[in-house]
Amino acid sequence: MDHPLRSVLIEEVHARPFAALKPPEQASHLAFVSGEDAAAADFAHLVRLCQHYGVPSPTPGLRHFTVDFGTFRLKWERHGEFCTYTFFHRNPLEQPFATSAISTVPQDWLQAIPGKRLVAVHVAVEQRDGPARTAIELGEIFESETLSGSRVFGGAALTWTDFAVHEDGFGRILVRDIGLDHFEAGRLVQRLLEIETYQMMALLALPLVQAHGPRIRQIEEETAQIARSMSEIADLEDTRALLTRLSRLSADVESITARLSYRVDATRAYFALVRRRIERLREERLERLQTIEEFMERRLAPAMQTCETAARRLDSLSRRLARASDLLRTQVDVALQEQNRDVLLSMDRRARLQSRLQRTLEVISIVALTYYLAVLLMTILGAVKAAGVPLNVELIAGVATPFLLGIIWLALRWTRQAVIRRHERDLN
């Protein structure tokens, strides 16, 4: 029995196949950022185009689809957070960008594509038997001074681009076939379009990083200020105030990190894809032109470094704030322990004072009880003497007084110990 995921995994291995292209060929490529939850809307929009032309619709759940509509061919791909539409059309290329492959696509359908357009580029693949393009012709075609070009695929083709947006809202890539077969031509065009798409997706993090840059600097400065003031703390209230500020700054850092982390992680992944696609072009320099790799290193790499730097700064800030908070909490704990020690010492002094007072009261109580019992004894003896019994009242009372004192002391001690034993039993 097959594994339930076998067919899905096989489809993933063979996902997004290259289109076979036979020059002269035109392509128009669009990438729309619609979000990870818009897959159903993107698929439904593709189905509407198929229904409009009366061709079989794709199977639900597909993430890539290629179909021939007669006047143009479409290669549709659904990625994690964006969707791409690449339109192909065979056409002689006297003027490579005078017309485009997308010109025959229904405009109302194009206007209704879900998401926001991030990438739009025209590609023209010239056949090998045409006249070579001069530098003047290339300047007229691209209308740009930042032209990049190179030999690619081991010299099997020449490619030029300016990475600029022209009046029609599209970029331009010109490819000249020298020794490509149909599948190599399709693979080359796809590599170039992927470089264009992934570099734009990688750059999405840059505006976010730049927007949060001032706040990150403020947090760094305030954190440094708090660190300097930690040695000048006067009392526990100052420590608590600094802890409150640190907690607020930590919350700000976590909030910024939550906004940037996904985008920066995606930027790393897209930038790695751009570099791998450039490596597979196997570029060779054309005279007086920068290669695609050089352009990316000059323009894209610094932006990626800015994003990486922001991520490192946030990570460093988070650790610094955590260390400062730990130090302040340690100071608070030490201060609280000192307060508790003072309280315990004060309680101990009160307990000793109370013990002394209790002993004094016991002595006074013993003396008072002894006095009252001696007076009572003398009263009784006086009554007996008055009844005719010869007694020496003072002598008897004097002799009995020490015994009365001892009896009262023993009675009070026994009572105190009995109360203590009962209290201990209650505690247990």
Q: Please say whether the beta carbons of 126 and 174 come within 8 A.
A: yes
CA angle 175, 297, 279 (to 5 degrees): 55
Average pLDDT, the chain: 85
pTM comes to 0.76
State the CB neighbour count (10 A cutoff) for residue 388: 6
d(CA 263, CA 405): 91
- Length of the chain equals 428
- For residue 42, pLDDT beyond 80: yes
Supply 299's token pair.
Answer: 């323009």
The pLDDT tens digits of the residues spanning 76-93 come to: 999 889 999 999 998 876
Query: HSE of 5 in the Cβ direction (CA atoms, 13 Å)?
Result: 3
Amino acid at 191: R
Does position 240 have pLDDT exceeding 70, yes or no? Answer: yes
pLDDT at 10: 58
CB 138 within 8 A of CB 156: no
Would you say 36 and 85 are in contact if contact means Cβ atoms under 8 Å apart? no
DSSP H or E run through 264? helix 236-281
Residue 194: CB atoms within 10 Å: 20
Q: Is the pLDDT of residue 5 over 70?
A: no
CA dihedral 8, 189, 29, 261 (to 10 degrees): 60
pLDDT at 394 over 80: no
The domains of the chain are located at 12-181, 205-341, 355-427
Residue-wise pLDDT for 247-288, tens only, equals 898 899 999 999 999 999 999 999 999 999 999 999 999 988
| Sheet with 73-78, edge to edge strand ranges | 64-68, 73-78, 82-90, 25-33, 116-126, 171-177, 157-161, 148-152, 284-285
189-211, pLDDT tens digit by residue? 999 999 999 999 999 999 999 99
Please report, as a single letter, which amino acid is at residue 54: G
Distance from CA of residue 121 to its chain's centroid? 33
Residue 332 has pLDDT above 80, yes or no: no
pLDDT, tens only, 215-238: 999 999 988 888 887 766 667 777
